[in-house]
Amino acid sequence: MAKTRTITRVVRVKSKRRAHRKFTVPLAMVAGFAPLAVTGIAAYQKAGAKYALQELTWALTGWDIPGKRFDAGGLSRGTVPIVLGVLLHKIVGGKLGVNKMLAQANVPLLRI
């Protein structure tokens, strides 16, 4: 009786390559915080830390501490730019694919 020889083939499955996570700065979100920072720095230079905290509270929440009332005028310096920056980051950067194009072009530390 003849011996049969068994041949075993090894099938290698390509594993999907995962991109390495890199630190990137979302510009639209950082730009949304710029008016708030300018407001805080100007208020601190004008009258000190207590006044700066009052101005930042007014810019973020709309609550005027000394007047003890709500005034939506301050929201244009704090909350509104932050919300617009987040929306711009999500819509332009994510949905339209600008961030993906920047990553494929090997642009370091930058995304929208």
pLDDT digits (tens, 9 = 90+) for 42-63: 999 999 999 999 999 999 999 9
Type of residue numbered 9: R
Once rounded to an integer, what is the mean pLDDT over residues 97-111?
A: 83
Q: What is the mean pLDDT of the chain?
A: 87
Whether residue 16 is predicted with pLDDT greater than 80 in this model: the reply is no
DSSP string for residues in 7-40 = ---PPPPPPPP-PPP---EEHHHHHHHHHHHHHH
Q: How many secondary structure helices (H) and strands (E) does the chain include?
A: 4, 4
- This prediction's pTM: 0.72
Residues 6+ apart with CB under 8 A from 21: none
Of 18-27, 55-64, 67-76, 94-103, the range with the lowest mean pLDDT is 18-27
| Cα–Cα dist 60/29, whole Å | 15
- Provide φ and ψ at 94, rounded to 5°: -95, -55
Whether residue 75 is predicted with pLDDT greater than 70 in this model: the reply is yes
Of 9-13, 20-24, 36-40, the range with the lowest mean pLDDT is 20-24
Query: With DSSP H G I counted as helix, E B as strand and the rest as coil, what are the percentages for the chain, rounded to 5?
Result: 55, 5, 35
Grade residue 38 by pLDDT with cuts at 50, 70 and 90.
very high
Residues 6+ apart with CB under 8 A from 10: none
